[in-house]
Amino acid sequence: MSIGSRIKQARQAAGLSQAELAAAMGITRSACSQWESGQGTAPRRERLEALAAELGVSYQWLTTGRDREAGGGVNETVPVYLTADQLELLHLFKGLTPRQRKSLIAFLRTL
């Protein structure tokens, strides 16, 4: 699977259109389309890192196709110092779509 295919797969799994992803990334929809089709230039590393974060997948999976977990591609070691409540919040947060994550963070900042 090509990087363009992985970008498209992750975008669709996140429930985003090309236009929505482009707006979130500050790029044009045509640039997003080019990335997914494999035509034109590939995203730079900084963009790929931001893209992985936006889509809720690991940078390694996005760039290489390896290390994608069934739960969304994020491969992290959970720190042992987290409380049970913090672990539950982290688990629930990881289950949200990127759009839901942004909404939740915006809401929490208002508290």
CA–CA gap between residue 96 and residue 56 (Å, rounded): 9
The CATH number of the domain holding residue 37 is 1.10.260.40
Q: What whole-number distance in Å separates Cα of residue 61 and Cα of residue 68?
A: 5
Q: What pLDDT, on the 0 to 100 scale, is given for residue 82?
A: 62
Helices (H), 1-111: 3-13, 18-25, 29-37, 45-55, 59-64, 84-94, 98-110
pLDDT at 73: 45
Range of the domain at 91: 1-111
Given a contact cutoff of 8 angstroms between Cβ atoms, the answer to whether 13 and 5 are in contact is no
Mean pLDDT of the chain: 81
Model confidence band, residue 62 (pLDDT cutoffs 50, 70, 90): confident
What whole-number percentage of the chain has pLDDT above 70? 85
Write out pLDDT tens, residues 13-55. 888 899 999 999 999 999 999 999 877 778 888 899 999 888 8
pLDDT range class, residue 67, cuts 50, 70, 90:
low
* Residue pLDDT, tens place only, 91-101: 788 788 888 88
Both structure tokens of 75: 């491969």
Across the range 44-68, mean pLDDT stands at 84
Provide the domain count of the chain: 1
pLDDT at 18: 93
Q: Distance (Å, rounded) from C-alpha 6 to C-alpha 102?
A: 22
The angle formed by the CA atoms of residues 86, 9 and 67, to the nearest 5 degrees, is 55
Alpha-carbon radius of gyration of the chain? 15
